[in-house]
Structure 1
């Protein structure tokens, strides 16, 4: 009797002590069931201890998610925030039912069972913004790298030739990086970004290497624990009813996925929108094709009109040019013809022979000059630019006018910066300058106290050359014709000198500017305005 009573009491004690755990383990539905879940005390935004109004509050995405799972399955939940390594050991020792958020990997799968993944997590490499040598996991070899103890990042790097610095939290790993104590930190991608933004250090740190080892993020229980069914059922329920989306949006801004009802509800709207877009696109394409055909048609019409105008302009210009050439050639030919016709009758006249020997060569030279200038304009040779000092270019030209300047008693003043360089075709620019100096010397002929001033240097960042004479100047009504062919105010001028000079200067990207007033002299400025001359 006493023995039976002992057995009954013993059975009562055993049942009283172990019934809640047994009922919990097999998934029964008692009135009061509690899930004890461990989590990282400093792993924002997933789970972390925060201070709100002076109180310590455990909060985060995992916390809200597991509260919703517990509510959906009829359980109560108690959280135990611990350092991450302690949280895993608590699960190993059976002190807690689960760890609320753990990234899956094959090594952990040997120790724990994992729920269905409720999101995808990945590692990231964090370095300072001035670090250029690290761009991937392989680049970490030989560097000091901070990782959280027993975290996935630790297992990912522990067998690599890397100097690991172990910390109790990812926040500590990033603090070591910011302070320059390590070269890199490896940890959860979203957590790292959250910590850097919260501590206002994101401007000093960058993420390299992209998403590393993306894997499912799950609830972990001891291997073989039937509670896994409870967690999977709760996760499926909150995803189905939209609670998961709200929690995700609260912590991450937008859900990674929507429930099936969302797609069903919006599919018809999306399909209708696609149909409308296709119709609009088809109409737009037809309108565009029509416009293209019209534009092409109008373009051809305009092209034909332009070609006709260009042909007309060319013919008019050619007619004008031929008329000018004929006029310029006819004048010296008439003089020569007159002398030749008088030659038989007046050959014995010494005065006649003197005049014919003087004027005929002059007219022939005039014809030769016209032909040479026309050839220079019609068949310009290939430009060969080279760097040359501006002073040397002037010295080479002035050699031709030394006798004329001395003979006329011209006061010549030259002031050119010897360091100024220009990029030009020397032969072509020599021809331009000869024409300009020839005009200047002829302009001061007969002028009392004739003066010629030559200066050169830099103006507005570009080389320039200025030639000033105190001659008669140019009348206002003639200035607009200076660069036209066959225009000349000289009795025996061809009118091609400045015209050809202008063309050659333009080919060398040199501007010719003429400032002149009747009775006040003339200033001719050459501005070497090409990019090459800027560099020179």
Structure 2
């Protein structure tokens, strides 16, 4: 939607300086006729005006309204000693404001019988009608309203033609907030025809430089009186407006005012403007020709004067530039070396230090005020001994060597490289030692690891306590009631039914926790996709009982290098979770696919149409003792995740609430599976 400031820029060229005329006349009237200070006591009315309908009403650069309707209202104000405060609005907002009493009048509104029931209208001062604005290439196919059927039509939401188009079948309508937005839709090719008033369209087409690409048909569509509306019952204001309009019509001032805004400039003025432009062009061409001759003559003089000195100037400039580049390069190198967090030391072929940056001075305990050849560093000697033991000087490695020392109980960790240095002729000139003090980083890493372990331990302890407390509470309740209710058969039956179940639940929690904490090492071997899906036979009764559709697709010649028992346990957990997820949904469907991811990896996809997992729960489903089931322990997915990792695999999950969940298990493939296809195809 176009902004008010944009409309101001559009109509600026059209209106010229006419908007200043009423204010100039008003100011001259005050100075010539001596208006009394009673002006401040004039009655003020709030008048709404449509802010994007040039030339009838629109906002200027300062946000105030101007146009035909505003000039008419100013005439009313002057003749009746009134004061109007103008409020820019959309026409729909203006109608609501007038009905609510927020404004007293609307400067420019089309008349209709429906609106007359809500407002009082003045005598009309213009007949507003819509026209068809079409691309030039469609002039042979569109001649009137009967031709817009089956076309894409764009128009304002409140135009009178809307009702007519709604009664025409097979017409596709696009509603715009104002005529400028609709015109942009037409220019961009998203509509075939625009219905709007031709005066506003002419202003916008001229501004957008599209006047030659579109045609405004002269067909008059839904003509309506254009008048001033006041709040129903405001007879005093309406009487003053009608009186002024009657006087202006009698004097022909209404047509003169409208012509001032609508008609083009007189032909004589245009001719004078063309003549002025022609003369200006001739003068500018003459001046350009004179300047050209002056320029050519000047260039010849310069060439003659500078011919003997140019070579010297070039050589001198090259020398200065080279000196400057060398100085800049040296300063830049020193700044870089002295501001990096890596210690840099260079040596000649005799291992004598030749340079050292600020970080290396600090790490080696050297003084920047003394010559390097007179200084000694015990740390540097120990680094050389460590390097001699770890690596030959002639060999270079991209991996840094790690040197750890412990002096007086203070541990230091230094990562370093020893590199060979060469000149431009690839001749070795010495050695370069780069060092990084990683002591603080290692301390921080160790603290983070310790904190992470404590956090995980706290979560685990909290989960165990939560899961064990529930069955213990039930058992304690029965024990507390045992002395008073033991002789009741019903109570004894409840003990027999519930206490063993709670004990079994405790045993399950402890067993799963032990499996999670100390799982047995995987027994990896070749396992086909067919063997992994054999576990579905154990769930067949449950699947048929719950009316679940299971679809499975897999390549029988696909082999994994895994522990079959552990991965079957993982798949069993995932399939049982899928069965629980689809149990209460309308579409009960589980899809199991086993396919090849790449040359080294295969994937198992288990997808269901269940209730899904909420976004905030996805990041916690693999945490111990976190479960969304009422009877769940919360170790199934945790244990599955651990087993997959121990089999060098990975697991991903995608889920949307109400649309189901998909688990993707990535596992390593058996490298010799291709050579053994004939053997395994019989499985």
Q: TM-score range by the shorter chain?
A: 0.3 to 0.5
**Greater radius of gyration (CA):** 1
Higher relative contact order (Cα pairs below 8 Å, separated by 6+ residues): 1
* TM-score, length-scaled by structure 2: 0.35
